[in-house]
Amino acid sequence: MYARFNDIINALKGLGKVCTNHELVSKILRCLPKSWEPKVIAMEEAKDLSTLPLEDLLGSLMTHELRMSDQAKNEPKKKTIALKASKDEESDEDKDEMALLTKRIRIILLDKK
């Protein structure tokens, strides 16, 4: 991500647009995914973003990323259960009985209201 970000910033500098360090830090924090929101909030509250060097921000984000990947590896895997669908088709007789039953239940419910 940093390499791509750096390419964009250098291209902007070549076009005459110079961004302050605060703008660069803010742009990186804004583009992080939702799962990083707790880290972003903690950094905004704990540090003065206008004086935070870009390298310190990247180091902190990389450390956080390593911690997140370690936690993901250490979590036990969840077991899932899949149900197998059968391909038995209902006969027309079964469908008619189901429709009749549904109709009777509807009539009973309407009578109770």
Tokens (6 digits) for 15 = 């076009």
pLDDT surpassing 90 at residue 15: yes
Q: What is the pLDDT of residue 88?
A: 62
Tokens (6 digits) for 22 = 């605060």
Mean pLDDT, residues 39-46: 88
Average pLDDT score, the chain: 85
Say how many C-beta atoms besides its own lie within 10 A of residue 40's C-beta: 17
Entry pTM = 0.57
pLDDT surpassing 90 at residue 48: no
* Residue 57 and residue 25 in contact, taking contact as beta carbons nearer than 8 Å: yes
3-class DSSP string for 29-66: HHHCCHHHHHHHHHHHHHCCCCCCCHHHHHHHHHHHHH
